[in-house]
Amino acid sequence: MKKLASVGLGLLMTAATATAQAEEVKIGMITTLSGGGSHLGVDVRDGFMLAIERSGRDDIEVLVQDDANRPDLARSLSNEFMQRDEVDILTGIIFSNLAMAVVPAAVRQGTFYISPNAGPSDLAGRMCHENYFNAAWQNNNLHEAMGAYMKTEGFERPLLLAPNYPAGTDALAGFKHRYEGEVVDEIYTQMGQTDYAAEIAQIRASDADSLFFFLPGGMGISFMKQWENSGVDIPLFGAAFSFDEIIIKAVGSAAVGTMNTSQWAYDLDNEANHAFVEAFREAYGRTPTLYASQGFDTANLILSALDKAHPDDQDAFREALREADFDSVRGEFRFGPNHHPIQDIYVREVVEGDDGQPTNRLVGIAVEDIQDIYHTQCEM
């Protein structure tokens, strides 16, 4: 209704009506709430809103819009948020290609962008910006960790599979960076592809001893379902994006036994995390995914900075964000010089849970204090 009223009156309104309380903070969230990647956006949003509610602050307005995983739509939503709603902070984008469409222009127009998910290499490196912060990871992080893990586990002929978009190429670059050895082959799929018969046939025909794949959201579910029936029998590895709680529940028993890397796990032992997992389950009746944890952390990062400064005071607010003065549910958390996290990455195994459904279980640490390889290219 608000939008309707503002459209109808927009041309007639005088400046007088636009004077809201100067203290109020507006946050615009653009995230993916429909299509095959929707559960990622839903969890980021739910985690984020949970933190805002728990803070008890009523001077924060969060506007949420669905980008339908379309770069052009995300771009026009960001224009609406900045020009019409005049938000102070933007956040929420799931997919790296959408982030690349929105973030560079938004931060240059003086809006803060805090990423709860996408961390494309360009934004960590040559296109980094003082108003851009990533509260999740740089795209390569989790894949690098898996590369290191598979190397120590002694796999010699991994085959790599990822969609052909910025996060996909980042994923394979990250994997190879720490795996260091030769890989059998790299297969790139279309973004949003639903049939993987051709790729599975290629994997079958190769002499790979393991498969490392990155297929977030609905792509992962389709792939795993088809993989299960293909009769190809080599172990599967990936980052947590291909094995979040929702994917493995949709896939069922086929997921059991696979390994994945994550910066967070719901059974990670720290106080902030216990409180988060409990509150999330109570509020939404399901186990949070890593996306929910990222949404929660993003909101808490913003809240911690708002305690110190209002975004209108850009320098003070930026400085407050840099301090990252909040209890992350992933344990220790700090920013590198390019505003991307330096953090531990864990290994999880998919096991059969108490209710018979597959679930992730923390196994150990893959890499400690990982920092993205692009921070040296960042001149801020």
Binding site for another protein (CB under 8 A): 1-4, 7-8, 10-11, 13-15, 33-36, 38-39, 42, 66, 70-73, 75-76, 79-80, 83-84, 96-97, 100-101, 104-105, 108, 164-166, 169, 172, 185-188, 190-191, 194-195, 197-198, 201-202, 204-205, 218, 221-222, 225-226, 228-232, 250, 252
Question: Do residues 323 and 310 lie in contact, with contact meaning Cβ atoms separated by under 8 Å?
Answer: no
Identify the CA nearest to 91 among candidates 45, 60, 58.
Answer: 45
Query: What's the closest the beta carbon of residue 81 comes to another protein, in angstroms?
Result: 10
Query: What's the closest the beta carbon of residue 228 comes to another protein, in angstroms?
Result: 7
Q: Given CA atoms 71, 73, 74, 80 in this order, what sign does their dihedral have?
A: positive
Q: Given CA atoms 160, 162, 164, 168 in this order, what sign does their dihedral have?
A: negative
Complex with another protein: residue 75 or 322, whichever CB lies closer: 75
Query: What's the closest the beta carbon of residue 70 comes to another protein, in angstroms?
Result: 6
Query: What's the closest the beta carbon of residue 56 comes to another protein, in angstroms?
Result: 29
* Summary count for the chain: helices (H), strands (E): 13, 13
Residue 145: how many CB atoms within 10 A of its CB?
29
Q: Cα separation of 103 and 67, whole Å? A: 14
Q: Cα separation of 161 and 355, whole Å? A: 31
Query: What's the closest the beta carbon of residue 105 comes to another protein, in angstroms?
Result: 6
Question: Do residues 23 and 59 lie in contact, with contact meaning Cβ atoms separated by under 8 Å?
Answer: yes
Query: What's the closest the beta carbon of residue 188 comes to another protein, in angstroms?
Result: 3
Complex with another protein: residue 128 or 272, whichever CB lies closer: 128
Complex with another protein: residue 39 or 330, whichever CB lies closer: 39
Identify the CA nearest to 59 among candidates 17, 26, 92.
Answer: 26
3-state secondary structure of 367: strand
Question: Do residues 35 and 218 lie in contact, with contact meaning Cβ atoms separated by under 8 Å?
Answer: yes
Identify the CA nearest to 192 among candidates 226, 164, 229, 172.
Answer: 164
Complex with another protein: residue 155 or 196, whichever CB lies closer: 196
Complex with another protein: residue 151 or 225, whichever CB lies closer: 225
Query: What's the closest the beta carbon of residue 233 comes to another protein, in angstroms?
Result: 10
Complex with another protein: residue 195 or 312, whichever CB lies closer: 195
Complex with another protein: residue 71 or 336, whichever CB lies closer: 71
